[in-house]
């Protein structure tokens, strides 16, 4: 395991106990990093996949981080709001004095629909959260990283960015923007000892993915178990990924072992995009 003792990480979209953000927080804590976790923590919304994590769940994630013998901090923030993003970063700086690692994990799928039927506000909100949120968080942490001549940024994109599926135009476009931002920013800040990479998860067993498979079951009339089985049959390694699979790659990319890796976009799919 990488040694991150004394490092400080900020992970957005980490309010789900079974999510990629929380899994990443735990593995970085195990490696010795102090970890701040953030999420929207808004009232239940009309998002079809269950809305937002609540404050209690985010605090539980922070408590579990602290069980690894490091310090933690839960912070409520809307990544689409610059003032809230700046306040989030300021809160982390006040608590820990620095931010060495940023994992931009906050993201959303709102409404799978044909382009012809896709409401403009859904398109805009998807891009605001997935793309603009990533931009704002990068912008907020960069001054401190540049001053210290060190930083690790990992942006969570999606295999949908390079293998878009039907009815997923807004999500795919937003995640393609994340890849482009990653590759451009990596060139801007490399001279300051800052690396910027993206991860493109495929089918990962999170609440959002479970909602998606249930949605497919409802729309096609297939049994849920059959939807899962059909998906697994198209993945060469024979299973759906776990949040821990993604967290392992996060841990590598923020470690000293990856200091010569930047501007890359890593497919993490079990080979799914090859089939």
Q: What is the pLDDT of residue 45?
A: 56
- Please report whether residue 2 resides in a domain: no
- Please report whether residue 211 resides in a domain: no
Number of folded domains that form the chain: 1
pTM of the model: 0.94
Q: What is the pLDDT of residue 78?
A: 97
- Please report whether residue 115 resides in a domain: yes
Q: What is the pLDDT of residue 220?
A: 87
Q: Which residues of 195-225 are buried (b: 16+ CB within 10 A; e: fewer)?
A: bbbbbbbbbbbbebbbebbeebbeeeeeeee
- Please report whether residue 111 resides in a domain: yes
Question: What's phi and psi for 36, nearest 5 deg?
Answer: -100, 135
Could you tell me the end-to-end alpha-carbon distance of the chain, in angstroms, rounded to an integer? Answer: 32
CA distance to 90, 165, 213, per residue, from 241 (Å): 34, 18, 14
Domain of residue 82, residue span: 8-204+242-274
The CATH number that applies at residue 143 is 3.40.50.720
- Please report whether residue 186 resides in a domain: yes
- Please report whether residue 176 resides in a domain: yes
Q: Running along the chain, 275 residues long, what does each successive block of 10 average in pLDDT?
A: 90 96 98 98 60 88 98 98 98 98 96 94 97 98 98 98 95 98 98 98 90 83 89 94 98 98 98 89
Which residue in 31, 36, 37, 35 sits closest to 5, CA to CA? 31
Q: How far apart are CA 110 and CA 114, in angstroms?
A: 13
In the numeric block, the tokens 């239940």 are attached to 44
For residue 275, how many other CB atoms are within 10 A of its CB?
A: 10
Does 224 qualify as catalytic in the annotation? no
Q: What is the pLDDT of residue 43?
A: 66
Q: What is the pLDDT of residue 1?
A: 54
In the set 171, 195, 269, 270, the catalytic residue is 171
List, in sequence order, every beta strand (DSSP E) within the chain.
8-11, 34-39, 72-76, 101-104, 151-156, 194-201, 265-268
């Amino acid at each position: 395991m990488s040694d991150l003792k004394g490092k400080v990480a900020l992970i957005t979209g980490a309010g789900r106990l079974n999510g990629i953000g929380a899994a990443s927080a735990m593995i970085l804590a195990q490696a010795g990093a102090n970890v701040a976790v953030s999420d929207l923590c808004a009232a239940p919304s009309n998002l079809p996949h269950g809305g937002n994590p609540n404050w209690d769940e985010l605090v539980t994630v922070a408590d579990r981080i602290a069980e690894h013998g490091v310090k933690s901090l839960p912070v409520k923030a809307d990544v689409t709001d610059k003032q809230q993003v700046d306040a989030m970063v300021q809160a982390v700086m006040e608590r820990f004095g620095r931010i060495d690692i940023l994992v931009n994990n906050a993201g959303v799928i709102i409404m799978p629909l044909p382009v012809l039927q896709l409401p403009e506000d859904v398109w805009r909100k998807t891009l605001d959260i997935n793309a603009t949120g990533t931009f704002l968080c990068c912008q907020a942490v960069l001054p401190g990283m540049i001053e210290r001549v060190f930083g690790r940024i990992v942006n969570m994109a999606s295999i949908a960015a390079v293998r878009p599926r039907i009815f997923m135009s807004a999500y795919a476009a937003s995640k393609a923007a994340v890849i482009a931002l990653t590759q451009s920013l990596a060139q801007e800040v490399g001279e300051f000892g800052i690396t910027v990479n993206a991860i493109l998860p495929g089918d990962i067993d999170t609440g959002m993915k479970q909602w998606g498979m249930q949605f497919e079951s409802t729309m096609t009339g297939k049994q849920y178990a059959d939807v899962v089985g059909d998906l697994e049959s198209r993945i060469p390694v024979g299973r759906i990924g776990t949040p821990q699979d993604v967290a392992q790659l996060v841990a590598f990319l923020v470690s000293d072992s990856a200091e010569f890796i930047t501007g890359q976009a890593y497919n993490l799919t079990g080979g799914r995009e090859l089939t």
